[in-house]
Structure 1
Amino acid sequence: MGGTARQLAVISATDVVDHDTADASPVVHTDRDRHMSPETIAAIRESVADSTRRAYSADRAAFSAWCQAEGRTPIPASAETMAEWVRHMTVTPRPRTNRPPGPSTIERAMSAVASWHEEQGRPKPNMRGARAVLNAYKDRLAREKAEAAQARQATAALPPQIRAMLAGLDRSTLAGKRNAALVLLGFATAARVSELVALDVATVKEAEHGYDVTLYRKKVRKHTPNPILYGTDPTTCPVRALRAYLAALAAAGRTDGPLFVRVDRWDRIAPPMTRRNKHTGIVEPIGDPAGRMTTEAAAEVVERLAVAAGLSGDWSGHSLRRGFATAARAAGHDPLEIARAGGWVDGSRVLARYMDDVDRVKNSPLVGIGL
């Protein structure tokens, strides 16, 4: 049984005690009671984001390899092992960056190992020493004015930046129409790029105010209906951009299926990709057979347009989502309405940070005191 599946499926015995029969003999579960089918395990694993699974898997493998090299026990890990491992991470450069990982990366790795213990039926390791080492690392980075001292955040794509990104786009082509619609719809719905590429043509409904687009927000497990309204500037109007793209899709023979599709170098909807399995010789499909864009491809569109426009900053697919929150708050909209529109969980610390970016100036105690 997979570890993650076991952790998610098992309920503490104290949660299922029948207090009327608490004095009765304890129930002994058989192997059958503990069995889960491969299909159930796969379903439970799918509840965790692919990116989280990959990151945790890499963190656990790195920890296990380090423990083996150091002659230490990975599970259950002692408090001393955790402290030594965190110190090791703070001084060991990673091959890709030639620098030690940042504090947020180390915190994720600590979480990966702690949850690994839970999945194996072990108590979480004592992290007090590890936390002290991490705090000292944060202090050192701050003194050194290191870039890693502050958590990396995607640069907010605000309307002026979006205009610059779209200014150099050839919107007479299918690819240009798609990219404009992707950027403007991503901003208007505060969508994660994974939510954006999951949209189908059928989820876009024309309405008097423009369009209604329903997104599935996996983080909160809810479908959110988002009204897409006309913009005051035709070049950045999400309704006009979406209408132009849908018309181009229909002209190319697509009136259903995925909304955002791959487009090849000849400005055609890309045919399904295949490869020949070197072991079996069978030709197998690669990616979505209907041509749906991947999350990585959608994020690359945002990054590429920002670079082409000469915009500085740390651009990613998340720039659209952050830009929506920042712009909406700057326009005076209520944080609760912003959270509902963007599918943020109640009390989201990430959204609160975006709000602070605006409110720290607008609500500063220095405002109006007569300096």
Structure 2
Amino acid sequence: MSETFAPDDARPAAVPLRAADDAAGQDLITRWAERHGVDAARRLAEAEDLADAVAKEITPENTADTYAKSWRVWTRFCVFARLPELEGSRGSLVAFVTWMLREGRANGKGYAPSSAGTHLAGVVVGLRERGCAVTRDDQAAARKALDGLAVKLLQEGERRGRGQAAAAEVADLYRVVRACPGTLAGDRDKALILTGFHYASRSQDPAGLLSGDVALVSRGLVVSVLTGKTKHSVRDAKINYQDDPEICPVEAWKAYRSRLAAEAEPRWSQPDAPAFVGIDRHGNVTGGMVPDSVTRAVKRISARAGVALSWTGHSLRIGLATTGRKKGKDAVAIADQGGWARHSRSMNGYFQRVDGWEDNATVGLT
């Protein structure tokens, strides 16, 4: 676009900015020009573009992928229901969650309620990004319908989804450590599990670490987690030496890094190298681990150790929360260590797994 603001009435015909790419954006710039003048309107439009760019930059890649997947589910629903894609009314959102639970998956089966809830949230974000108004009341109505329908599924004996992930426990750590082979890969596995447990890692956390992000200090390790999903999860997590060196994350990290320096090329020990590397069956380093390879490793390691409830990529994270709770650790300290908000619903949900067992009406009855 080459036109500029008309000087006689200060109304912009068109502006070569992303903020004016749709009618709503052009109307907004017109109002700014009328209130503040042409130059100020252009600067405000540029600020809008910057805000959009910053929002895109700070949105985690996996969150963006989830939003994109949710939007694809929404477009399938709109085709099915013959509804306009860019309209987030109460009725359309309630119909959307109903359809998802009934037949929304690509194979014609229904989604688990938790997955449907994720897609509902993603679609609301997508609609708003595309300039469509979605009120709190309309979203709440869809959420209420989803919760009610989920209860009816349970009443009808239908349980969907994988259920809660298993929590890693201290006894499991011993099994894992003792099952690791005496190789570079085995030492890597020990360090991955023991450090991950102690800072409540998600799969993307160790995958995003550089060796320089893990500092050895007099009292243990400081792990600078920079790939968190929220402002709370970006943190410096301190890990103390543990009383038993067999499952001490600090000792495991030191052993892994020493062996890596001795058996791999020097470049893998540089501060800007990945903290956790992939290792093939011949003991060769293949590059840095990615979130999927961390998840697979955690599953493989727990299976090798014969852990009764197989771990997922979230088991170490849940393990820190539940073990800390059982040990009487302060909830704020647990939240800060694991990168949760201090009143996080997910963290409190993990606490509920262990709460209510000691002071329980069934203790000592027989």
Q: TM-score range by the shorter chain?
A: 0.7 to 0.9
Provide the residue aligned with 1:107 in structure 2.
117
2:242 counterpart of 1:235:
no
What is aligned with 1:277?
Answer: none
Partner of 2:221: 211
Are residues 1:352 and 2:366 paired? Answer: no
> Aligned partner of 1:212: which letter?
V
Tell me, yes or no, if structure 1 residue 342 matches structure 2 residue 338: yes
Contact kept in structure 1, 2:233 and 2:340, CA below 8 Å: no
TM-score by length of structure 2 reads 0.79
- Whether the aligned pair in 1 keeps the contact of 2:89 and 2:134 (CA below 8 Å) is no
Question: Which residue, out of 126, 142, 147, partners 2:159?
Answer: 147
Shift of the 335–64 alpha-carbon distance from structure 1 to 2, 3 Å rule, reads same
Alpha-carbon distance between aligned partners in 2 of 1:32 and 1:349, rounded to the nearest angstrom:
40
The one-letter amino acid paired with 1:118 is: R
Q: How much has 1:368 moved relative to structure 2?
A: 7.4
- Work out which of the residue numbers 281, 285, 307 in structure 2 matches 1:269: 285
Secondary structure (helix, strand or coil) at the match of 1:67 reads: helix
1:268 Cα deviation (Å)? 1.2
Q: CA deviation at 1:180?
A: 0.8
Going by fraction, where is helix more abundant, 1 or 2?
2
CA distance in 2, matches of 1:161, 1:337: 23
Contact 1:174 1:248 in 2 (8 A): yes
CA-to-partner distance for each residue in 1:207-229, whole Å, 9 max, x for gaps?
33333333236322675333333
The 2-side partners of 1:94 and 1:185 are apart by 37
Question: Which residue is 1:26 aligned to?
Answer: 35
Q: Offset of 1:356 from its aligned partner?
A: 1.8
The alpha-carbon distance between structure 1 residues 32 and 120, as it changes in their structure 2 partners (threshold 3 A), is farther
Amino acid at match of 1:328: G
Q: Which residue of 1 aligns with 2:304?
A: 308
Whole-Å Cα distance in 1 between the matches of residues 52 and 189 of structure 2? 38
Change (3 A) 1:130 1:328: closer
Counterpart contact for 2:331–2:342, Cα < 8 Å: no
Q: 1:27 to 1:64 in 2, by over 3 A?
A: farther
Give the structure 1 partner of residue 237 of structure 2.
226
Change in 2 beyond 3 A, CA 1:140/1:346: same
- 1:174-196: per-residue Cα shift (whole Å, max 9, x none)? 11111110000101122222222
Question: Could you tell me how far 1:42 is from its partner in structure 2?
Answer: 4.9
Q: 1:316 to 1:339 in 2, by over 3 A?
A: same
Whether contact under 8 Å (1:201, 1:259) holds in the other structure is: yes
1:115–1:124: 8 Å Cα contact kept in structure 2? no
Is 1:63 aligned to 2:74, yes or no? yes
1:121 is aligned to: 131
State the partner residue of 1:138.
Answer: 150
Q: Equivalences for 1:151-230 in 2 at 5 Å?
A: 152-170=163-181, 172-216=182-226, 218=228, 219-220=230-231, 224-230=235-241
Q: Which residue identity is paired with 1:165?
A: V
1:313 and 1:49 map into 2 onto residues whose CA distance is 30
Change (3 A) 1:262 1:37: farther
Alpha carbons 2:204, 2:227 under 8 Å: kept: no
Indicate how the Cα distance of structure 1 residues 112 and 363 shifts in structure 2: closer, same or farther if over 3 A, else same: same
How big is the alpha-carbon RMSD for the aligned residues of Structure 1 and Structure 2? 3.2
Question: 1:255 aligned to 2:254?
Answer: no
Q: What CA distance in whole angstroms lies between the structure 2 residues aligned with 1:132 and 1:242?
A: 47
- Percent of pairs with identical residues: 26
Distance 1:207 1:168 in 2: 28
Whether the aligned pair in 2 keeps the contact of 1:181 and 1:241 (CA below 8 Å) is yes
TM-score scaled by structure 1? 0.78
Moved more, 221-230 or 319-328: 221-230
- Secondary structure (helix, strand or coil) at the match of 1:262 reads strand
Moved over 6 A (4+): 36-40, 367-371
Q: Relative contact order: is structure 1 or structure 2 higher (C-alpha 8 Å, sep ≥ 6)? A: 1
Distance in 1 (alpha carbons) for counterparts of 2:227 and 2:290: 17
Is residue 220–residue 344 contact of structure 1 (8 Å, CA) maintained in 2? no
Residue ranges of structure 2 left out of the alignment (5+ in a row): 1-16
Distance 2:46 2:276 in 1: 41
Per-residue CA deviations over 1:204-260 (Å, capped at 9, x if unaligned) read 333333333332363226753333333333332212211110101211223212211
